[in-house]
Amino acid sequence: MSQQPDHEVIIVGGGLSGIGVAIVLDRAGFSDYLLLEEGDGFGGAWHWNTYPGVGVDIPSFSYQFSFEQLSGWSRVYAPGAELKAYAEHCVDKYDVRRRSRLNARVSDTEFDDELDLWRVRLANGEMVTGRFLVSATGVLTKPKKPEIPGVDDFRGTMIHTARWDHSVDLTGKRVGIIGTGASAVQIIPSIAPQVEQLTVFQRTPIWCLPKPDAPLPWPVRTVLGLVPGSKAVARLAAQSYVEVTFPLAAHFHGYLPTASAGEKLGHLHLRRSVRDPEVRRKLTPNYSLGCKRPSFSNVYLKTFNRDNVLLDVDPIASVTADGVQTTSGTEHELDVLILATGFKVFEKGNMPPFPVTGSGGADLENFWLTHRFQAYHGVSVPAFPNLFSVLGPYGYNGSSYFNLIETQSRHIVRLLETARKRRATRVEVTERANAAYFASVLARRDKQVFFQGQCSTANSYYFDEHGDVPLRPSSTLETMWDANHFPLQDYTFT
């Protein structure tokens, strides 16, 4: 067996995280990488999510790489197809495609303690090896089917939002949708004018805030394209807006009044949008803003004024062959049932999405089950040498994913550069550094909305089974500083 790995780095995931890591590594002189993607195209969330109305919830100026800023976005909040095209554009421009394999699903990975490399087994039985392994697999990727009695008995058409079937024509159909999360908020207003009847089954109302969205006409795009610095200014403005509305509001809730101002805005938006006071009442959240992912839309709430849209908040008793029955005994006959029921998050088999066996046979899923979710800066876990994550526990602070991708890539590049300089083949975070980081994030939780606010009625996927919220309690500037300055002594290079 060869003593040398096939590649210096294997990157798992062809979403924007994997693409970003590949580009940053390449620019830093680590060009021998192989990117593995289980789908048949690049873009991750934007490859799989093609439902009507899909689009980004963060202004596009900040939802792009700092080194590849476009001026041609059609709107302040770009539609999903433009993000998918952006991913493909980056793949081609930065020569990622040539070093990638699509339809390559990883089935399991194992660290070889003798040779200091990762063995990555693919679903087709093939094995590839890499000195370093980067997990860029995202979290919200595996569609979740609701555990509702009879859900498999429905005789009509059933579609999950993340696997939209474009051959289904909703025109004139009786459509039901289960769920009112961020996906449903975009789908409901998009399909309501087309269908005969739309019944929305809501379990927990979502906070819905106005979206400062608008088309970007050609003069604006021209200015952005031609005037030096204009894209940077737009990016800074967008970034600051995002920073105030999520990371700062959530993590520094104890110091800032942002969340209560946001709640007032949410209530005002609801009052202005929905005419019927009873419908308004049903759409009013009974938990603090920030406990779960809020939504942004100027059209979602207004859709409930339509005559062909019904909001049913009775718990669902079962899905029948013909539709949905609620506990009050009402049966809604449906032609199409849309499952806007989200994704697996902390469920077994999702984090990580394939078995990861580290040094001495350590299993990553078991490690997290036993020790709670934790990773040094969200990147590294002791006993899992040469493995780095983009979206590990306590890595993401809730800002634009592109900040996360770039800061975690910077962290990884510093490690790889140091390993190269010291001729090390094994890079491992120390238990002491990991424990200190975990203690530091836990010490900040008393200021977070998740632990200060009224979250028990939110049904939020932010909370894991230990009651922890593995988001990074930091401002974006702090995450950037950390990536550039974390002490290299926190790792061993051997």
Nearer Cβ to ligand NAP (143/156):
143
d(C-alpha 39, C-alpha 12), whole Å:
11
Ramachandran class of 446: left when φ > 0, alpha when ψ lies in -120 to 50, beta otherwise: alpha
d(C-alpha 331, C-alpha 3), whole Å:
64
Nearer Cβ to ligand NAP (109/245):
245
d(C-alpha 108, C-alpha 26), whole Å:
25
Burial 30-50, CB ≥16 within 10 A → b, else e: beebbbbbbbebbbbbbbbbb
Enclosing H/E stretch for 309: strand 309-312
Nearer Cβ to ligand NAP (5/294):
294
Minimum separation from the CB atom of position 263 to ligand NAP (A): 18
Minimum separation from the CB atom of position 104 to ligand NAP (A): 24
Nearer Cβ to ligand NAP (182/216):
182
d(C-alpha 45, C-alpha 402), whole Å:
13
| Cα end-to-end span (Å), the chain | 22
Nearer Cβ to ligand NAP (117/471):
471
Minimum separation from the CB atom of position 206 to ligand NAP (A): 7
Minimum separation from the CB atom of position 415 to ligand NAP (A): 28
Q: Is 333 helix (H, G, I), strand (E, B) or coil?
A: strand
Minimum separation from the CB atom of position 192 to ligand NAP (A): 17
Nearer Cβ to ligand NAP (177/274):
177
d(C-alpha 318, C-alpha 292), whole Å:
26
Minimum separation from the CB atom of position 56 to ligand NAP (A): 5
Nearer Cβ to ligand NAP (312/322):
312
d(C-alpha 415, C-alpha 493), whole Å:
9
Burial of 201 (0-12, 13-18, 19+ CB in 10 A): buried
DSSP per-residue string spanning 448-483: SHHHHS--TTS--TTS-TTS---S--S-HHHHHHHH
Nearer Cβ to ligand NAP (10/390):
390
Minimum separation from the CB atom of position 198 to ligand NAP (A): 15
Q: Is 488 helix (H, G, I), strand (E, B) or coil?
A: helix
User: Are the beta carbons of 312 and 334 closer than 8 angstroms?
Assistant: no
d(C-alpha 299, C-alpha 282), whole Å:
17
Nearer Cβ to ligand NAP (33/287):
287
Contacts with ligand NAP, residue ranges (CB under 6 A): 55-57, 140, 146-148, 161, 178-184, 186, 203-204, 293, 316, 340-343, 459, 461
d(C-alpha 170, C-alpha 178), whole Å:
16
Output Rg (C-alpha) for the chain, integer angstroms: 23
Distances 380 to 13, 76, 399, 434, 494 between C-alpha atoms, Å: 17, 35, 20, 8, 16
Nearer Cβ to ligand NAP (99/144):
144
Minimum separation from the CB atom of position 88 to ligand NAP (A): 19
Which residues does 118 contact at the CB level (< 8 Å), separation at least 6?
5, 10, 109, 110, 111, 112, 129, 130, 131, 132, 133, 386, 387
Kindly tell me the sign of the dihedral angle through the C-alpha atoms of 229, 233, 236, 239. Answer: negative
Minimum separation from the CB atom of position 221 to ligand NAP (A): 22
Minimum separation from the CB atom of position 204 to ligand NAP (A): 3
Minimum separation from the CB atom of position 295 to ligand NAP (A): 8
d(C-alpha 302, C-alpha 327), whole Å:
27
Nearer Cβ to ligand NAP (30/394):
394
Minimum separation from the CB atom of position 55 to ligand NAP (A): 6
Local structure of residue 24 (DSSP, 8 states): H
Nearer Cβ to ligand NAP (122/313):
313
